[in-house]
Amino acid sequence: MQNIRKALIPVAGLGTRFLPATKAQPKEMMPVVDKPIIQYVVEEAVASGITDIIMITGPGKRAVEEHFSPNYELIEKLKRQGKISQAEELKKIADLANFIYVRQRGPYGNGTPVLCARSVIGNEPFAVLWGDEFIYAKPPRLKQCLDVFAKYGDPVISGIRVPKDEVNQYGIARVSHVKDNVFLIDELVEKPDVKSAPSNLATHGCYILTPDIFPKLEQVKPGKDGEIWLVDAIKDLMKERKVYACEIKNGIYYDTGSKFGYIRANIDFALRDKVLGKKVRKYLKSIL
């Protein structure tokens, strides 16, 4: 089985849910405590064995590139000031992976950035992660999905259980149990009615895809809002091969592209922080 070394992260979205905060800064650069959202996503990929990070960018996303680029002047200044740990931390960011940036071309929709990376991906299986959400899990969500791909050799989508009254907010899978936390996806239903949802297993956020997804993306017709959607191409692919769901073990989903999800992530990660944890916990108790 071919090792997966490339992960694609689309970061071209406009972040309209966070306006006006995202008018002049990428939504992916909004901080969760002291690191931007996109860094959590990249660190998950690297911790899972990924070496090449391909980001599909758009206008106004230069800050994302700058964040993962080396800044030797700043590092040397920190060293002169005796801030060695900070200098080392900044150096590690640039050394995380081999970063490749591709400008998005084509219609809106989350399928377009995947197709834009075709020439960089080549004829290899690859991972897709979104730049404004992540799952906190040990082992990392992506690693769990990669393990499933290594065993079965077909595309894999990460899955997480959601409350039944919230299934209409997600893509939900009708599945057949295979083994442990692995399921065969029989059908993908986008934001189903609560009463008719086939399960409460939401499948999104992390994808292990094979190169045969690209012809499907080229052929797929525009869907909702006239946009190209990755899930529509995956549905076409499911007619020809199996697609699995990996229910993430010990995972907490953070939709940091939504206001509540973003606030929740900041609270949770602040509580986990060795320095901030006690202060934040004490403050929360004082106002509750």
What distance, in Å, lies between the first and last C-alpha atoms of the chain? 53
Domain residue limits, the chain: 6-257
- How many other CB atoms sit within 10 Å of the CB of residue 119? 7
3-state SS class at 253: strand
Its CATH architecture, for the domain 6-257, is Alpha-Beta Complex (3.90)
Question: What's the DSSP call for residue 3?
Answer: P
What Å distances lie between residue 178 and 144, 152, 206, CA to CA?
15, 11, 19
Q: Structure tokens of 64?
A: 């994302």
Distance CA 43, CA 92 (A): 11
Cis link prior to 20 (omega < 30° from 0)? Answer: yes
3-state SS class at 92: helix
User: With a cut of 70, which residues of the chain have pLDDT below it?
Assistant: 1-2
Q: Please report how many Cα atoms fall inside a 13 Å half-sphere around the Cα of residue 250, on the Cβ side.
A: 6
Tell me what pLDDT residue 193 has. Answer: 86
3-state SS class at 79: helix
pLDDT tens-place string over residues 147-187: 999 999 999 999 999 888 888 888 899 999 999 999 999 99
Cis link prior to 155 (omega < 30° from 0)? Answer: no
Question: What's the DSSP call for residue 4?
Answer: P
Distance CA 35, CA 86 (A): 13
b or e along 210-223 (b: 16 or more beta carbons within 10 Å of the residue's beta carbon)? beebbebbeebeee
Using CA of residue 124, residue 28, residue 17, residue 248, what is the dihedral sign? positive
Using CA of residue 220, residue 242, residue 202, residue 25, what is the dihedral sign? negative
pLDDT tens-place string over residues 109-155: 888 999 999 999 999 999 999 988 888 999 999 999 999 999 999 99
Distance CA 146, CA 96 (A): 19
Question: Is the distance from CB of 232 to CB of 111 less than 8 angstroms?
Answer: yes
Tell me what pLDDT residue 116 has. Answer: 93
Question: Is the distance from CB of 22 to CB of 132 less than 8 angstroms?
Answer: no
Tell me what pLDDT residue 166 has. Answer: 87
pTM for this structure? 0.92
Tell me what pLDDT residue 2 has. Answer: 67
Tell me what pLDDT residue 228 has. Answer: 86
3-state SS class at 276: coil
Tell me what pLDDT residue 149 has. Answer: 96
Tell me what pLDDT residue 62 has. Answer: 92
